[in-house]
Amino acid sequence: MSGARREAAGERRLFFALWPTPELRASTLAATAGSLAEAGARAVPAENLHVTLAFLGATPAERLDAVLACGRGLAAARGTVTFDRLVAWGRAGPLVLEPTAPAPALAALHGALRNRLVAAGFQLESRDFQPHITLAWKLSRRPAAASIPPLVWPFDGFVLVDSEAGPTGSRYTVLARFPG
């Protein structure tokens, strides 16, 4: 459903995410620029780089207060995650960065947020949480390098984002910030 039709239907496409600083986005893109060029892919705009914690998808506008309540006051919202592995998911992408080591604080944040959302009646994806940063879509070839110098993403909070699909890709708007 297009953004205009979704708004007319009273829905928002929502997700919770780690939202990096502009400097962290720039260092992530600098560290992966060669691999992105090698992959011949459509790069994700720098301002869209993030780590999804929970994807709600199309959410009725009247449920926004309940979504916000789920994010408030989570104690496990501080830590780091280190991304050090490039992975192409599937034949044509996306190209993502993943951590090779677990990030306990991130897993705790995800679990606590997921529990609150499920308790509030939201339907979430059933697949296991796999922290990643999507770098590009529609790969024409897989990059040779599978590892990169470690990129440490510290976090001391997270955000609620509204995603609006458009003809040139998605536009993200941060609706709320939740400090750790």
Query: In the structure, what pLDDT confidence band is assigned to residue 142 with cuts at 50, 70 and 90?
Result: confident
Closest-CA residue to 43 (of 52, 55, 53, 34):
34
Q: What is the mean pLDDT of the chain?
A: 88
Asked if 2 and 165 touch (Cβ cutoff 8 Å), the reply is yes
Distance between CA 143 and CA 131 in Å, rounded? 20
Burial of 127 (0-12, 13-18, 19+ CB in 10 A): exposed
Q: Choose between 123 and 37: higher pLDDT.
A: 123
Distance between CA 100 and CA 148 in Å, rounded? 11
User: How does pLDDT run across 14-47, given as a tens digit for each residue?
Assistant: 999 999 999 999 999 998 888 888 888 788 999 9
**Based on the structure, what is the number of domains in the chain?**
1
Query: In the structure, what pLDDT confidence band is assigned to residue 76 with cuts at 50, 70 and 90?
Result: low
Which residues constitute the domain of residue 135? Answer: 3-179
Percent of the chain with pLDDT over 70: 93
pTM: 0.90
Return the active site residues.
50, 132
Please state, in angstroms and as integers, the Cα–Cα distance from residue 73 to each residue in 8, 65, 145, following that order: 32, 14, 40
CATH number at residue 100: 3.90.1140.10
User: How does pLDDT run across 90-100, given as a tens digit for each residue?
Assistant: 776 799 999 99
* Mean pLDDT for the stretch of residues 4-14: 69
Q: Tally the C-alpha atoms within 13 A of residue 46's C-alpha that lie toward its C-beta.
A: 13
Taking 70 as the threshold, does the pLDDT of residue 8 lie above it? no
Provide the pLDDT for residue 5.
46
